[in-house]
Amino acid sequence: MLIRDYQSNDFPQIEALWIDTGIFMVERGDTPRIIERCNDMGGKFLVMEDPETGNIVATSWLTWDGRRILLHHFAISPPFQNQGYGRTLALESLAFARERGYSVKLEVSPDNLPAIQLYRSLGFELLGDFDVYMLKYPS
Ligand SMILES: CC(C)(COP(=O)(O)OP(=O)(O)OC[C@H]1O[C@@H](n2cnc3c(N)ncnc32)[C@H](O)[C@@H]1OP(=O)(O)O)[C@@H](O)C(=O)NCCC(=O)NCCS
């Protein structure tokens, strides 16, 4: 598998992958413009491509807020799960943060055991002290 940076014409495949893996939500409003803006601000969007078909089989989106990296939209296409690709892509993603000396934060549903197992095995620890709040439409 090839791990490479996002290109703007990847987006239709990426959106299909997010739908297939259950992480797509319309209200998140993620668009190519937002990906490009986050990259311009110092983030990185990695895709994993099957070299035989040219299809995108995984995504990892690292955004930078000036303090930390947030890792999100981490997903492996269902036919490619449980074959070590998630670990490979996660390690490549964490290398980006390590090279820059940034810590990495992520959110995961407490019932998503495969993802929790993966993150824990990579050294992530539960902060646990906080619930996550969001104001979707500031008025
Ligand atoms: C979570 C996810 C990214 C894991 O990717 P993957 O390619 O299947 O994972 P890997 O094959 O690289 O396995 C890496 C580790 O993940 C954990 N893992 C993967 N599948 C698992 C499962 N079904 N049950 C428990 N642990 C699992 C294990 O710790 C595994 O390490 P091990 O093989 O040494 O035990 C993948 O299942 C996925 O895309 N899920 C849907 C989208 C999603 O929920 N993303 C996370 C949002 S926070």
pLDDT class for 139, splitting at 50, 70, 90? confident
- The CATH architecture of the domain made up of 2-121 is 3-Layer(aba) Sandwich (3.40)
DSSP conformational letter for 130: -
- Nearest CA to 96 out of 63, 132, 119 is that of 63
Residue 19 CA, chain-centre distance (Å), reads: 14
Residue 85 in tokens:
């690709």
CB contact at 8 A, 21 and 75:
yes
CB 126 less than 6 A from any atom of ligand 1 = no
CB 87 less than 6 A from any atom of ligand 1 = yes
Mutate-to-test residue for ligand 1 from 87, 89, 91, 132, highest number of ligand atoms within 8 A of CB: 87
- pLDDT 10s digits, 15-66: 999 999 999 887 778 999 999 999 999 999 999 999 999 999 999 999 999 9
Report d(CA 57, CA 77) in Å as an integer.
5
In the chain, domain spans: 2-121
Report d(CA 10, CA 65) in Å as an integer.
24
What pTM was estimated for this model as a whole?
0.95
Report d(CA 109, CA 132) in Å as an integer.
11
CB 119 less than 6 A from any atom of ligand 1 = no
- pLDDT 10s digits, 66-88: 999 999 999 999 999 999 999 99
